[in-house]
Amino acid sequence: MPKDTGIGASPKRREDVRFLTGKGRYTDDINVAGQAHVVFLRSDVAHGRIRGIDTAAAEEMEGVIRIFTAKDFEGVGGIPCGWQITDRQGNPMQEPKHPILAEGKVRHVGDPIAAVVAETRDQARDAAEVIVADIEDLPAVIDMKKAVAEGAPLVHDDLTSNLCYDWGFVEENREAVDRAISGAAHVTTLELVNNRLVANPMEPRVAVGDYAFHDDSSTLYTTSQNPHVIRLLMGAFVLNIPEHKLRVVAPDVGGGFGTKIFHYAEEAFCTFAAKQLQRPVKWTSSRSEAFMSDAHGRDHVTKIELALDADHNFTAVRTETYANMGAYLSTFAPSVPTWLHGTLMAGNYKTPNIYVNVKAVFTNTVPVDAYRGAGRPEATFQLERVIDMAARELGVDPVELRRKNYVTEFPYATPVAVEYDTGDYNATMDKLLSMIDREGFAERRRESEARGKLRGLGINAYIEACGIAPSQLVGQLGARAGLYESATVRVNATGGLVVMTGSHSHGQGHETSFAQVVADMIGINEDQVEIVHGDTANSPMGMGTYGSRSLAVGGSAMVKATEKIIAKAKKIAAHLMEASEGDIELKEGRFTVAGTDKSVAWGDVTLAAYVPHNYPLEEIEPGLEETAFYDPNNFTYPAGAYACEVEVDPETGKVDVLAFAAADDFGNVVNPMIVEGQVHGGLAQGIGQALLENCAYDEEGQLLSASYMDYAMPRAHDLPMFQVDHSCQTPCTHNPLGVKGCGEAGAIGSPPSIVNAVIDALHSGGHDVPHIDMPLTPARVWHAMQGGAANLGSAQPAAGSGNTTHDRSVGAGDTATH
């Protein structure tokens, strides 16, 4: 029987009333009296030396207040990077300066050269167009492998090469892995590209800087997933504003998907310029600007080898990945291909030997950083593809091959430094198979063939690490931040309460689901609970929302704070009822004394706390407000099994997704409706990556997919009705709610399902195609069926050399059965 309220119920999202009626209050809705507007002049070349910037004519234009260039930022810090990676030799990564406005060189199309502040946005835009930037074109490096070759042009002249770091993980495993592979009965090798993506949140980024002379304080309104992190990074590292003089507000935010985690130059600019000009300064990104200034996602080129013994036990995994950093290091960029990717290379499997090598590379492209899943989709994709390929090579059932190698005993310490606390991968696979009628597939395939179509079935598992993260652990791994979360619960005299959380909701529905948890703990109505987030002025220091961490970490902090509230309230109740504190029980909003009929209501206690006439003042303070910080002692490990059926039109190469099923284990679930919505959204983005989305540069570094005319977003009609299930629940063992996180699973688990299914379909039609790089557009699929693989004008790398599908994805004779 579904519950109506509290944990496990599916009340409608309270925030949707304002969102769906156009009443949301987004950053662009904030207009501060007297504000000026900034427009950035951005580079239209990928790489060039700035010989001069002539702003004289622009400065004379109507409405122009001031034009800024790099020289105005002497003495101001660069945009900091929040994670330092140590390379295989024990040296720190190469970390170039990331100026607010380009200094000396431009390094990607979209790199800001000058900022025009004017009375109106149009005036600023008009003036930006007449600035003359004298830029000497330099050769651009786009392809990562060419970028690290001898003699390649340097993105940063002061670095020794374009290699940010060469990371080995776990370096001590390397020899054992090499031995296991050379002695294996079978090795399957796959080279692949994890395609570069643009996050494309519905709301473009916006920043409004404001400065108050009367108390020398700055306020930044910004589209951020983590306002406290922006306050710390921008205040301490860029503008030298102490945190007590800086307020960062992230109000309603229209989607983030990772790309609004990072601290961006435009935020620092607006805050800086507001003080310089003593006027509020506002920037609103256009969609075109977003394509060339929001951090991109993914962009890995990987070679993976999977070794198996004669009984098909996985004996080793070895990978070599080139990870694109873009032109500068975005806030968490170095951590994505390393700790968020390497630690997941065991997947759901008990492979004993694993070695991951990652070369992070600077190129003349937009910086790349976390995007929904961040490292984990890259890990899952290569592993679940190579397993499928191995099953095909060995002629075994891909589901049975996975089951044979599943981790089944928990806790399980992987060879890549993490410990899975709990899980049941066979349970989610069983559930999945019960959802998809695998036995009926052969008949469905025949039916498709009768219509001239090729039908394929793709099945895979996934695991991810969420709830980041234990602060001490990530500190050892190079994080320059703690990754706890905070909450303050402020109970009012009349019994209602406000939770100020360091988590941030930008579509996740926290205002509804967080209220369910607190209301359930106390036994009051959910409308008695208000969730407040997104303002450093009222919330305790929080680390924000990403990595599916909000409920697991932020929710845990909220539970801890609420537990403190309840403990204090019980003391007050005990006093009011002249009973022993240990006998007090709280149920359905009433305090009772065990074994008696005495009771007081929640509201009686909260009133007593603020009107302490009859109150144990010698023992406790008046008031009812508590703060908790929660630092997890492990990651959480959501996992599951996904399946999809596709139909390929062999004449055109077009792929239609006919069915998609997801069986997830998220541990306990607070609001099943919201969880399903999160999975639906994740699946849409994962399927988008697999079939549609491709951020492509040409050899000169021009962005080919710079608008929706060329960047294909998934739309409703591209997707089937999803079957989603989260009834398999192995609760997380180390957080109080037993929750794991659900925000990224769909985007992590679904790309291999799609590609596995398409490859299956092509093989059924007699096409021996080992792999096709995402996105599997009609042209790419058709070319693969013809035995070729056109790069279609994109300068981004193919995985292997050569022009045939086989050469690109398998390499030259690396696959061998010994």
Site of interaction with another protein (CB under 8 A): 122, 125, 129, 288, 651-654, 691-692, 694, 696, 704-705, 708-713, 777-779, 782-783, 790, 792-794
Pick the closer one to another protein by CB: 289 or 535: 289
CB 145 within 8 A of CB 76: no
Nearer to another protein, 129 or 621 (CB): 129
The CB-of-457 to another protein minimum distance in angstroms stands at 23
- Quick one: 542 or 688, whose CB is closer to another protein? 688
Contacts (Cβ under 8 Å, ≥6 apart) of 377? 194, 298, 686, 689, 744, 747, 748, 751
> Shortest approach of another protein to residue 705 CB, angstroms?
6
Is the distance from CB of 534 to CB of 230 less than 8 angstroms? Answer: no
Cβ 654 to another protein shortest distance, Å: 8
The answer to whether 169 and 85 have CB atoms below 8 angstroms apart is no
Q: Which is nearer to another protein, 355 or 782 (CB)?
A: 782
DSSP letter at 651 equals T
Closer residue to another protein (CB): 537 or 790: 790
Q: Give the residue with the Cβ less far from another protein, 355 or 711.
A: 711
What is the C-alpha separation between 144 and 799, in angstroms, rounded? 11
Q: Are 778 and 654 in contact (CB under 8 A)?
A: yes
* Minimum distance of another protein from residue 143's CB (angstroms): 16
Angle separating helix axes 425-436 and 398-405, nearest 10 degrees? 160
Phi, psi dihedrals of residue 133, rounded to the nearest 5°: -100, 115
Alpha carbons 263 and 114: distance in angstroms, whole number:
19
Contact assessment for residue 463 and residue 664, using Cβ atoms and an 8 Å cutoff: no
Closest distance between another protein and the C-beta of residue 724, in Å? 25
Which CB atom, from 196 or from 510, has the smaller least distance to another protein?
196
Angle made by CA atoms 530, 536, 539, in degrees to the nearest 5: 40
- Taking the CA atoms of 552, 553, 559 and 560 in sequence, report the sign of the dihedral they define: positive
Measured CA to CA, the distance from residue 791 to residue 91 in angstroms comes to: 36
Euclidean distance between CA atoms 766 and 756, whole angstroms: 15
Minimum CB–partner distance for residue 765 and another protein (Å): 16
β-partners of residue 359 are 166, 322
Whichever of 132 and 792 has its CB closer to another protein, that residue is 792
CA distances from 718 to 654, 671, 692, 721, 744 (A): 11, 27, 9, 10, 20
Shortest distance in whole angstroms from residue 154 CB to another protein: 28
Nearer to another protein, 293 or 705 (CB): 705
Q: What's the min distance (Å) between Cβ of 778 and another protein?
A: 7
Q: Are 229 and 263 in contact (CB under 8 A)?
A: yes
Q: Closer CB to another protein, residue 567 or residue 792?
A: 792
> How far, in Å, are 390, 645, 709, 750 from residue 397 at the CA level?
10, 16, 41, 19
**Residue 735 and residue 556 in contact, taking contact as beta carbons nearer than 8 Å:** yes
CB of 266 to another protein, least distance (A): 20
Smallest gap from residue 288 Cβ to another protein (A):
7
C-alpha Rg value of the chain to the nearest Å: 28
Helix axes 778-785, 745-764, angle to 10 degrees: 40
Please identify, using beta-carbon distances, which residue of 20 and 790 lies nearer to another protein.
790
Whether the CB-CB separation of 701 and 365 falls below 8 Å is answered with yes
Minimal distance in Å, beta carbon 331 to another protein?
Answer: 29
The least distance separating another protein from the CB of residue 777, rounded to whole angstroms, comes to: 6
CA distance 153 to 160: 11
Give min distance, CB of 722 to another protein, in A: 20
The nearer residue to another protein, 633 or 652, going by C-beta atoms, is: 652
Please report, in angstroms and rounded to a whole number, the separation of the first and last CA atoms in the chain: 56
**Which two structure tokens, joined as six digits, stand for 376?**
């984990």
- The encoded tokens of residue 721 equal 């009705």
Closest CB to another protein among residues 288, 668: 288
Nearer to another protein, 440 or 793 (CB): 793
What 3 state SS string does 415-429 have?
CCCCEECCCCHHHHH
